[in-house]
Amino acid sequence: MPLTKEEVRAKLTEMGIAYEVMEHGPVYTIDEMKEVEGMTIEDVCKNLFLRDEKGKRHFLVVLDEAKSADLKAIRAQIGSTRLSFGSEERLMDNLGLIKGAVTPLGVLNDCAKNVEVLIDEDLRGRPRLGVHPCDNTETLWMSFDSIKKIIERQGNSLKFIKI
């Protein structure tokens, strides 16, 4: 069963991860995030759930909200077959997430460690990033180092790429 936002926050507290919570109505896109009152959109992460051509490998790409991902360039950097967006069913099966709630914190639901996390180099070292707590009605603010620690502690593959 996927973690609720309350369970995600409890897990982060248990791990000693510092975070701030910003509650808001449901948002499904970066454009909708821009409409949230008080949102510092420049610090929000955009997250893409991808799969390879045969559906054997799954990837979570984490990048700056203002960037666009070139799937061919990502493919070349990771040595994959053609990449495409994963279906909502695959997203739920692998990360326990729904469309609009994609987040690097979804690895907390990936007990099999099937999803490879790819993070844009430009996020490295940022003091404050916004990600959903597996639910699109909140944004959690934490450091890049905290996000990296969560992924590493969960045991998912982590690679830095240039977007």
CA atoms within 13 A on the CB side of 130: 22
87 lies in some domain: yes
What mean pLDDT do residues 9-21 have?
97
Q: What residue numbers bound the domain in which 11 lies?
A: 5-157
- How far is it, in rounded angstroms, from Cα 89 to Cα 45? 22
Residue 153 lies in a domain: yes
Domain count, the chain: 1
- Quick one: tokens of 100? 């609009």
| Inside any domain, residue 59 | yes
Tell me which amino acid residue 54 is: K
What whole-number percentage of the chain has pLDDT above 70?
100
What per-residue confidence (pLDDT) applies to 1?
80
Mapped onto helix, strand or coil, the DSSP state of residue 146 is helix
CATH number of the domain residue 81 falls in: 3.90.960.10
> What token pair was written down for 92?
């739920």
Cα–Cα dist 15/160, whole Å: 23
- Which position has the token pair 């830095």? 160
Residue among 67, 157, 41, 57 at smallest CA distance from 104: 157
Segment 6-31 shows an average pLDDT of 96
pLDDT beyond 90 at 38: no
Asked whether residue 163 is assigned to any structural domain, the reply reads no
Q: Is residue 162 part of a domain?
A: no
Residues 121, 125, 128, 130, CA torsion sign? positive
Q: Which of 100, 98, 91, 97 is nearest to 28 (CA)?
A: 100
For residue 49, being part of any structural domain is answered with yes
Tens of pLDDT, residue by residue over 94-153, are 999 999 999 999 999 999 999 999 999 999 999 999 999 999 999 999 999 999 999 999
User: 3-state class of 59 per DSSP?
Assistant: strand
Question: Residue 39 domain-assigned?
Answer: yes
